[in-house]
A and B are shown apart, each in its own frame.
Chain A
């Protein structure tokens, strides 16, 4: 194996190196400032390394890992999310007396897990990434152990995550028993379409569906979203979901699995999962007051929409589907960065702890219009209004659904988007309501810069997708 081969793995290796250095740093000097900046630097260096690698020819690194532009771009999204998470945590952890070195360590481990997931080409590496991601997230969700729901949330996530991974393992075992291989590419179509292989595949989907919080596996989502520290909720919403989705997509787009997915029974099962997620997720979000809970339910719906790309069956659509996944996840990521970043700021300014209700947004437009504007654009992007990235993402999905004649899914997408207006619009209107309490918002130049970058990205992706993102997606 040549050096060049390993070069493509640099991003993951850099993060791993960062983890080791973090450990050393903790034993050398416990300083929150130091480790926060160090983690930021690690992320930044890795982002640069990843960007410079995009466009290289795809390479198998052992049987476990397959690095191509698809996984590199996906890892870039994960790193961007990780970078924002560290940045948010800096603001979030500031107010507490304890030294939180381990928080950053766990964050890095989560990113590493996601890195393994997006590059995996083998059930073993997929499972490794899955567990690395889950276990560090368990630590993160309950990180502030003195907070009210910390233990409950962490416990809930641990138990359900463990049962999800055991379902997944069982599924993988079934698949192995029928195909004789754990590597995605080596799975042959001819021996994959029997009952046990189908069972195995569905169990595997159930495991991943838990992480994506698709509908019958969604019960943990609102509680864990609400109870976790806000930066951790952000990590759950972006890193964990995008990495899992990319891993699932990589696996499903392999030829051996394509025949499996094209089977009517599997196709119907996946469609049903998607449609139920779209409708139920959106319906449950109606009438919620807690913003994190709204986002939790809406994330269920968004993953449901995104499931459309897994159901394409024409070979020529798959390339478009890969682009669609990355585009949609990017638009979703940017919207989430804006909303969660703002939640962290509001928590700090208003001193309301972990539970931001819709009422805390009241009247924001009139005393800090710029922040509110960024929020409005983010919510519009989640709705999918033109000129935001969310619309182009939805446009991709609709094109795929129309090309592959997935009419029920398309109808569910439209109905779901209609229902979603019922909770997204009140979020926006809340910002415009007259508020009696005037809150002074502390805005530093760094916050302003951060707001501007997010704003430009979310509008830019919608107005000029060609300039900003398409160069990355042309693989």
Chain B
């Protein structure tokens, strides 16, 4: 029941944060932080008191929800979901820390939205009744949309609508697939069922499996995002407030990867194996296209957003390689990209907070007055372009290793993407921190505060840890570990 308690607590604290705003203007952020600490402790408690090692997807909560369709309130955990929930909780703390001073108006509702989004995302990672999964999948979008639409930058309404339309329409495709599977269960067993474990027993013809798999694939490819469905991402990331970008890049994109693993590859192994060449090609195209587009941006948040498309392309390509190394590489990339892109968005937010522009052309010479900031930026940029010793390198290396065994051509092309990432990464760092400002005015900007330094330090240390000792992640035996 602890998982249920965690989600409920987050919602209760969310309401609390909203309602105390009237009396104490500073209280919401403190409440939000307390909520996250309590929830994280509960989560640790859940893990340590359990007897299982969570190597398989273990049911931990099971109750009836909607009788008429045999829908259950069923939650399960395995090492993959544990890993992703940990990442979520970590980045949630970062998101709150980064908004500590950035958000000054309507704080109550702001933290309400952040906590609700976290609750929804945790729900996505643990729900093993697929109807329940769908509910969480949809509900987590609302607070994120609100974050973009209310606290975002200039064209926030457009970005929010675009984000919502893309995700909503694609998830309706998934809903059709879900309904079809439940219906097939009714035909084969005599009763509706939305349970993942029941669906694994189903038998279907290859064509049906392909159709259903594509229904799921579209929803997750939009979220990942992969190339033909990516166009919501640059807008949403650019317009969102910093914490919103951190959550979007750090966690929300990972729900797409998670869905691909859980509902596409593991549920329809044969169909996805046939589909793999197309998916891998989409991945490679995303890598190259994302890198190329990132290079062409002058808005630094947009640049990081396109780089996300490029990095998540590695995940897509590696997952569909059906190779042990590639799969591990994908998992490491998921975590590493979560941390590094969150870090870059945090930095972009800090710079924006100081000079009120995201335009690279109007930045320059920041390193002179803010050396610490320049230092950590270099670390994160280096992580993003895959310097050995940092986490992303491990992920991309294993991905490429695995993919090369399956399709050398894909691996070869993807490697070009890594070169691309070095170019756009250096361009970002060089223009912002060392380039000369076009108007030649010397502005002095503040260096990192202690709070900001702490955020950067935590993220940098994590990247370094995974980079030096990847065994920390790789020791987990993932269910999908082929």
Contacts and interface: CB of A to CB of B under 8 A. Distances in A.
Contact of B134 (A386, A403, A413): A386
Nearest to A414: B172
A386 B139 contact: yes
Interface stretch (A73-81, A95-103, A208-216, A425-433): A425-433
Contact of A402 (B69, B168, B169, B176): B176
B173 interface: yes
A166 to B, nearest CB: 40
A432 B169 contact: no
A417 B176 contact: no
B448 to A, nearest CB: 32
Interface stretch (B75-83, B156-164, B432-440, B466-474): B156-164
B8 to A, nearest CB: 13
A385 B142 contact: yes
A398 B160 contact: no
Given A399-B183, A402-B180, A465 B66 contact: yes
Contact of B179 (A366, A387, A392, A402): A402
B207 interface: no
A56 interface: no
Contacts of B69: 399
Interface string A414-441: 1001100110011001001000000000
Contact of B138 (A366, A385, A432): A385
Given A387-B135, A429-B160, A465-B66, A422 B165 contact: yes
Contacts of A323: 68
A466 B180 contact: no
B168 to A, nearest CB: 6
A414 B173 contact: yes
B308 to A, nearest CB: 24
A386 B67 CA distance: 17
Given A386-B135, A421-B165, A432-B149, A465 B68 contact: yes
Given A385-B139, A429-B157, A465-B68, A418 B180 contact: no
A114 interface: no
Contacts of B180: 402
A397 to B, nearest CB: 10
A410 B169 CA distance: 12
Give chain A's interface residue range (CB within 8 Å of chain B). 20 to 34
B213 to A, nearest CB: 16
A466 B139 contact: no
A414 B66 CA distance: 24
A387 B149 CA distance: 21
A22 B73 CA distance: 51
Contacts of B183: 399, 402-403
A385 B141 CA distance: 10
Interface string A447-475: 00000000000000000011000100000
A466 B157 contact: no
Contact of A418 (B67, B138, B165): B165
Interface of A: 323, 366, 380, 383, 385-387, 391-392, 395, 398-399, 402-403, 410, 413-414, 417-418, 421-422, 425-426, 429, 432, 465-466, 470
Closest 6 CB pairs of A and B: A418-B169, A386-B135, A414-B172, A386-B138, A402-B179, A421-B165
9 contacts: A380-B142, A386-B134, A399-B69, A399-B182, A402-B179, A418-B172, A422-B165, A429-B160, A466-B68
